[in-house]
A and B are shown apart, each in its own frame.
Chain A
Amino acid sequence: MAGLFARLKEGLAKTRENLMDKITELVTGHGEVDDDFFDQLEEILLQADIGVSTAVMLTDRVRRRARSEKIREALAVRKMLKEEITSILVGNQAPIVWADHGLTVMLIVGVNGAGKTTTLGKLAARFKGEGKRVMLAAGDTFRAAAIEQLETWGRRAGVPVIKHKEGADPAAVAYDAVQSALARGMDVLLIDTAGRLQTKVNLMEEIKKVHRVIQRELATAPHEVLLVLDATTGQNAISQAKLFTQAVGVTGIVLTKLDGTAKGGVIIGIKQELGLPVKLVGVGERIEDLRDFDATEFADVLFSD
């Protein structure tokens, strides 16, 4: 666990530096809080991609608490902000859902370039490592070489890949995959899908069909619909979460590419707006860098000194 913490901390170091350095700078610059202090606090949150409404909400909440609790020192206000963010994030924790018995089906969705196929490959290796019988379905039949990309991951993890030709109907791939996974007694089936912008009506209809077919073949499935979200994404992530949830009932978020300088603050907004939990975070390129999201840890790392 210590290693995990260190790794996550390392991955999030930039996040922390950006956000906390500025807050530290801010609180040490101000002995006592004033309007200017709160304006700057709001700006810092905005820069973390937390979003206007969430930033305003957080700042207001802290401002009100400071007033009612008669707290004037900047340092104490900072602690308050950490508490507020933690309280939002703690409710944001949820483990991966597994079928009560038999096959668990996970559908991976998201916009182009979010990291769906990579996430799926890492998940396959991880589940396989846990001794599960894993199968992959190459449901991205659109992008050139997406099927080959998934096959490479399948080979690396040593798990079978169900595929059709490029251009095939992804719902047909999903159908075959569920049938095959059931027949072969798999524990988990991970279904990849083509990247699609959430506003493309036809493509969203296509993924709804994939979802319907899975449900028809196995009534309890899909057990997880994971939306892969690039941590560098700004406020559009909220639109992504909203429209994908409307279409296929997203059950959780995978936040990728947190090892850059991106802050991923938008997950706070998503939790606020939609109540969607973050289930996994990607903090690096290695297979083990895809981790369960731990809200307390995330907040701790964000606020550790």
Chain B
Amino acid sequence: MAAFAGLAERLQQTFQRLRGKGKLTEADVAEAMREVRVALLEADVNFKVVKDFVARVKERAVGQEVLASLTPGQQVIKIVHEELTNLMGGSNAKLKIGSKPPTVVMMVGLQGAGKTTTTGKLAGLLKKQGRRPLLVAADIYRPAAIRQLQIVGEKLGIPVFAMGDQHKPLDIVKGAMEHGRQHGNDYILIDTAGRLHINSEMMQELVDIKGFAQPQEVLLVVDAMTGQDAVNVAEQFHQSLGLDGVILTKLDGDTRGGAALSVRAVTGCPIKFVGTGEKLDALEPFYPDRMASRILGMGDVLTLIEKAQATIDADKAREMEKRLRQQQFSLEDFLQQLQQMKSIGPLEEILGMIPGMGKQLKSLQISEKELSRTEAIIQSMTPAERRHPEIINGSRKKRIAAGSGTKVQDVNKLLKQFEESKKLMRHLGNMAGVSKGSKGKKGLFGLPPLIK
């Protein structure tokens, strides 16, 4: 199994050993670098990129900087992290905006990379930012690709320009530009057909479209699971079209996305977004430093905090804080917390962002179920029971268990967990002086008994 473990886990194992040591010898560094090399290769980072990377890190690590420092292990991790971040492109890039509207974005890539879905997601993101995007269905080759974009457009409430599959893509784009201008669309997103980078005829089609539409952004959509070939693909598309950026898809699987490092290193194009799920809002900006942290198993706390802030209602959080202070925290509040946690994202995703959680993910699939069960139990209680759990006697427990499809033991367990959480929160409250409002974070961490 070790061979398929993620890059983060591999490096974590390596650095666990380094961490245990007081000082690093050159041999230690060499050993660590061998592990880094294997881990990067197993993560599908292109071979040449790996070679460069390892050489650079080794050079820095073996030097004075590391050997003279007090915590050499930490120093090496820092260097690896910095170099990874550099490799992936410094800071996060945004979509360009044309000097006068509409801004044209052209999506290109191999078959099956996820262009149509991603084009939809990007349009959805722009709409959320108050833009008026127009989707253009220029994939006339794959059966039902146009219909797919239309359905995506319907779901998002975004117009789709299509002319069927009997017109040339270039003509469709011409029609779309005209349509967009007339209808005041400020972004035009062109979904092109998937094609092989070595198919010169099909590549010419893209060159022609680019020539006419003069896009501000030509974005290459790359499957995060791509192997060594990512480099060839990106190079060819870049040569033919002059890419402006990359979107990495399917990053929600167990691939470590070595392709991200490869593509960035080879084309010099920034990775602008990453696709993290099948839902139409599962598109996130790409942050190289966070990605590097994730790769290194250092967790992605920044993203987690941002997500929590975006999801958790500040007023509700304040209200809950008040109740906490007055020790009125009830099972209703508990339920609300559970639901807020769920709305941040799938549990496994949340926990993947917490440092040190990477390894334990396998056991967590049960916890997700447990969460739903807990929810069901609370929902089977009367409002009075939720506010005053102490009134729940034997016959009430039986009723609740039957109503939620659980056993009396489960109800007991939940009540016990709730009491423990309450105690813990009281404790935390006393310690930190809950009044220093911190946007519902207490709520998040008030659930430790559930997340073991």
Interface residues of A (CB under 8 A from B): 14, 43, 46-49, 51-53, 111-115, 121, 142-146, 148-149, 151-153, 166, 197-201, 230, 232-239, 242, 257, 259-263, 266
Contacts and interface: CB of A to CB of B under 8 A. Distances in A.
Contacts of A230: 112, 223, 225
18 contacts: A14-B198, A47-B228, A49-B229, A52-B38, A112-B114, A113-B112, A115-B112, A144-B147, A148-B144, A149-B142, A151-B144, A232-B110, A232-B227, A233-B225, A234-B44, A235-B43, A260-B197, A262-B227
B47 A46 contact: yes
Given A112-B114, A257-B110, A201 B148 contact: no
B175 to A, nearest CB: 21
Nearest to B364: A201
Contacts of A238: 3-4
Contacts of A263: 228-229
Contacts, number: 141
A230 B253 CA distance: 15
Contact of A145 (B145, B197, B232): B145
A269 to B, nearest CB: 9
Contacts of B111: 113, 115, 257
Contact of A46 (B3, B41, B110): B41
Nearest to B235: A261
Nearest to B142: A149
A289 B8 CA distance: 39
B228 A49 contact: yes
Nearest to A257: B111
A133 to B, nearest CB: 23
A217 B278 CA distance: 31
Contacts of A121: 143
Contacts of B38: 52
Contacts of B321: none
B265 to A, nearest CB: 15
Contact of A260 (B3, B229, B278): B229
B189 interface: no
B259 interface: yes
Given A111-B225, A197-B253, 7 more contacts: A49-B44, A49-B229, A113-B223, A149-B147, A236-B255, A237-B227, A260-B196
A232 B111 CA distance: 11
Given A145-B145, A148-B144, A257-B110, A236 B44 contact: yes
Contacts of A239: 4, 254-255
Given A149-B142, A239-B254, A47 B113 contact: no
B252 A152 contact: no
Interface string B219-232: 00001011111101
Given A52-B41, A238-B4, A46 B114 contact: no
Nearest to A260: B196
B47 A47 contact: yes
A115 B114 CA distance: 12
B270 interface: no
Interface string B102-138: 0000000011111001000000000000000000000
Contact of B144 (A145, A235, A237): A145
